[in-house]
Chains A and B, each alone.
Chain A
Amino acid sequence: MSTPRLVEVRQNVLKANDVLARALRERFREAGVVVVSMVSSPGSGKTAFLEKTLTMLQPRFRVAALVGDLATENDAARLRRSEARVEQIITGTVCHLDALMVEKALEGWDVGALDFLFIENVGNLVCPASYDLGEDLRLVLMSVTEGEDKPLKYPTIFNGADIAVITKMDLAEAVEFDWATANANIQAVRPGMQVMSVSAKKGDGMKEWVQYLGALRSGVDVSCGGLAAR
């Protein structure tokens, strides 16, 4: 048997996903739709936050959402109460969304008829980090009940996000949530990251968030280099 020969390849393993994500990003840009993806652990309040966001944007903007879960249409049913177009992506056993799932879910959509498209990833702070979905803005959410050190435990996902949203602020006092420590931990794994604090239930901070989105839509640079860095 001959001796093996070493040949250079130098290809990104997720090249296929990245190529697809780039094409999606181009398609979204041409259509003039702002695409925001959301990652967090299960139960951090992504769906409640998104439902409130869709409802608040609805009078002024054309909005839609894709929502990923391993099983059930429950989240899509909940989000449809906002009257926005919502498509459930059921991933089966897959723990994250990838660009192909997004492309397939958007088959037959006229994305040009939208101002905002939200993509709610599967609740998971590990796997979604590796997959670009073609979004403009990646949001990472953490709730006050999860503990201030969440960013230190999952640095990769926090580092790869553009903005952090702390949810369930109405419970902050009850669980003795220390905002300054949480913020310091976020800044440790992603220096300069913008942090917003909201209560989707009571509405606190939601107006600022919707204003942020409005500014994003009109092309105003509202982030601390998050968008520019992408």
Chain B
Amino acid sequence: MHELSIAISIIELAQEEAERRGDVRVSAIHLKLGMLSGVAKEALLSSYDLACEGTALEGSELIIEELPIVVYCPKCELPKPASSIEWFSCPECGTPTPEILQGKELELAAMEILE
């Protein structure tokens, strides 16, 4: 369970970005979370509120967009959703592929700010 460390990193990064924009108040954070990021959505949401307490982000909302795993199929020569997290292959032709195009994201995509 390292979601609390991740939540703290999100808050630190958001504070940095808020300061850079002239100490604006942040009302919400938009996070992109890949299915292969190793971070659990529910645990992160509950850790976030806890980690926000006593910071400038207290009361802000964390909005998580989960991103599915997308692999590159060398046979179809196209990006394809992975068959499953337990099976890195093309869902159509079944070709195994280690090439991941999406799914590792842990990205602070945007913030809602009040000026």
User: Does A46 sit at the interface, judged by CB under 8 A?
Assistant: no
Within the complex, the shortest CB–CB distance from A2 to chain B, in Å, comes to 6
The answer to whether A157 touches B38, judged by C-beta atoms less than 8 angstroms apart, is yes
B107: which of A13, A152, A189 is its contact (CB, 8 Å)? Answer: A13
User: Does A168 sit at the interface, judged by CB under 8 A?
Assistant: no
Kindly state the interface size class of chain A when it binds its partner: 35 or more
Interface residues as binary, A124-159 with B (CB distance below 8 Å gives 1, 0 otherwise): 001101100000000000000000000010011101
Binds B, one of A4-12, A65-73, A169-177, A204-212: A4-12
How many pairs of residues, A versus B, come closer than 8 Å at their CB atoms?
111
What secondary structure prevails in chain B residues at the interface with A?
Answer: mixed
User: Does B6 sit at the interface, judged by CB under 8 A?
Assistant: yes
Kindly state the interface size class of chain B when it binds its partner: 35 or more
What separation, in Å, do the CA atoms of A4 and B63 have in the docked complex? 14
A1: which of B98, B107, B114 is its contact (CB, 8 Å)? Answer: B114
What separation, in Å, do the CA atoms of A4 and B25 have in the docked complex? 9
Q: Using A130-B37, A189-B87 as known contacts, say yes or no to A13 and B96 having CB atoms under 8 A apart.
A: no
**Inter-chain pairs besides A7-B111, A10-B110, A188-B87, 5 sampled, C-beta below 8 Å:** A11-B17, A13-B10, A13-B31, A13-B106, A156-B36
Q: Which residues of A contact B (CB under 8 A)?
A: 1-2, 4-17, 94-96, 126-127, 129-130, 152, 155-157, 159-160, 187-193, 225, 229
